[in-house]
């Protein structure tokens, strides 16, 4: 790595760190001002709010805006290089535009790798902190439901032919009442189970059923079995019965992949949401590299208006990138749009933009 590479790479990373720190402070101040009443209602001390909320919230918001922080940092310091005619001097010395972009590629790959690792393993842990606080103290139903751990009339599919449900389920005690299973074959009921109570046995990691009635239908005959107690290992666990809006964000990628596999078997209606989340964990880090290339090629030209013009164009492109992602997400979760394309289409579209800007700048 030559001095020029070290100089550009150092400027790139230094500006990025400055941007992420500055914007994090701004976001935290705005978010805190909006949630002051919620923090007061929680009855927690200042340090408890820091530990139980901000420790999880800051990584969450930084990861969400990470590619945009990189984009703004690249545009800002590259525009400064162009304003000082440093880019012209570098290219005039015989360095090709492709060679000029090498330190940008190294820096963006490094940052993309950090973001990818964070999405796979680190963010799910911090999202657990943020999500628990958000669900408990800030959601719009806070203060209206004194027994938020209880789920009423919960129904789900165990596989493509088997349906189950509970009259009520308590997520804290991991116990439920009036549990039933119905299995169908060729549109005919072949098995039915009903029990008075169901409790998760943490020792053997199985469900304990009490006062069980099982009915099996074979060739027009009905076999009835009564059991006072029964331990069964079903393909769902307590974690599957306590999902909320933040559930998918708390899972590491291996856990999320396993959940998707089980939901495919169960025929879950939420499968597209989980698939978009899974694919996005790979697509978002790649966007760091794409946006870096766009920012570098866009800001390397010296224009009237200086860095202000480049930053304005950067903001517009950032908004378009977010809009592409949001529209694709809605179409995937609410319509028939492919989850893979929903996660990757912003990258595909902006890759074309990056290629066009690169070819134009190289000339």
Tell me the pTM: 0.81
For residue 218, which of 192, 191, 194 has the smallest C-alpha distance?
A: 191
**175 C-beta neighbours (distance < 10 Å), count:** 18
The conformation of residue 251, written as its DSSP 8-state character, comes to: S
Q: What does 201-229 look like in DSSP terms, one character per residue? A: ETTTTEEEEEEEEEEEEETTEEEEEEEEE
For residue 339, which of 352, 325, 350, 319 has the smallest C-alpha distance?
A: 325
Cβ atoms of 112 and 285 within 8 Å: the answer is yes
Along the 363 residues of the chain, how does pLDDT read in single tens digits?
A: 688 899 999 999 999 999 999 999 999 999 999 988 888 888 889 999 999 999 999 999 999 889 989 998 999 899 888 888 898 898 888 889 999 999 999 999 999 999 999 999 999 999 988 888 887 787 654 444 444 567 888 888 888 889 999 999 988 788 999 999 999 998 899 999 999 999 999 999 999 999 999 999 987 899 999 999 999 999 888 877 766 667 888 889 998 998 898 888 777 777 888 899 999 999 999 999 999 999 999 888 876 655 667 677 777 877 788 777 777 777 777 767 889 988 999 999 999 999 998 888 766
The C-alpha angle 103, 282, 272, rounded to 5 degrees, equals 155
- For the chain, domain boundaries: 3-141+270-362, 160-234
Measured between alpha carbons, how far is 280 from 67 in angstroms, rounded to an integer? 13
User: Dihedral angle at the C-alpha atoms of 3, 7, 13, 15, nearest 10 degrees?
Assistant: 180
For residue 303, which of 90, 75, 19 has the smallest C-alpha distance?
A: 75
Backbone angles phi, psi at 189, to 5 degrees: -70, 125
**Cβ neighbours of residue 229 closer than 8 Å, sequence gap 6 or more:** 208, 209, 210, 212
Measured between alpha carbons, how far is 351 from 363 in angstroms, rounded to an integer? 19
Q: Using a CB cutoff of 8 Å and minimum separation of 24, what contacts does 264-267 make?
A: 265/158, 265/159, 265/160, 265/235, 266/156, 266/157, 266/158, 266/159, 266/160, 266/235, 266/236, 267/157, 267/159, 267/160
């Amino acid at each position: 790595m030559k001095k020029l590479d070290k100089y550009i790479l150092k400027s790139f990373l230094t500006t990025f760190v400055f941007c992420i720190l500055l914007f994090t402070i701004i976001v935290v101040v705005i978010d805190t001002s909006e949630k002051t009443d919620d923090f007061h209602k929680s009855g927690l001390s200042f340090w408890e709010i820091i530990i139980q909320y901000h420790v999880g919230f800051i990584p969450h918001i930084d990861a969400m805006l990470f590619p945009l922080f990189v984009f703004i940092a690249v545009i800002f310091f590259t525009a400064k290089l162009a304003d000082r005619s440093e880019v012209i001097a570098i290219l005039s010395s015989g360095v090709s535009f492709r060679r000029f972009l090498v330190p940008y590629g190294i820096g963006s790959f490094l940052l993309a790798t950090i973001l990818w690792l964070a999405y796979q393993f680190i963010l799910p842990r911090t999202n657990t902190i943020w999500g628990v606080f958000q669900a408990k103290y800030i959601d719009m139903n806070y203060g209206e439901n004194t027994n938020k751990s209880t789920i009423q009339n919960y129904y789900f599919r165990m596989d493509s032919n088997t349906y189950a449900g509970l009259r009520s389920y308590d997520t804290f005690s991991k116990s439920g009442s009036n549990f039933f299973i119905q299995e169908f074959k060729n549109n005919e009921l072949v098995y039915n189970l009903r029990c008075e109570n169901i409790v998760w046995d943490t020792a053997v990691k199985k469900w304990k059923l009490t006062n069980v009635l099982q009915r099996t239908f074979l060739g027009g005959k009905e076999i009835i079995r009564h059991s006072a107690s029964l331990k069964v290992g079903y393909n769902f666990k307590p974690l599957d019965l306590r999902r909320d809006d933040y559930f998918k964000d708390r899972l590491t990628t291996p856990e999320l992949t396993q959940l998707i596999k089980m939901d495919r078997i169960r025929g879950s209606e939420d499968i597209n949401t989980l698939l978009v989340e899974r694919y996005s964990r790979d697509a978002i880090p790649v966007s760091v590299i794409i946006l870096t290339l766009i920012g570098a090629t866009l800001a390397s030209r010296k224009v009237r208006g200086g860095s202000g013009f480049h930053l304005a164009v950067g903001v517009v492109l950032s908004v378009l990138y977010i809009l592409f992602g949001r529209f694709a997400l809605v179409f995937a979760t609410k319509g028939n749009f492919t989850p893979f394309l929903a996660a990757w289409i912003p990258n595909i579209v902006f890759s074309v933009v990056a290629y066009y800007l690169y070819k134009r700048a190289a000339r």
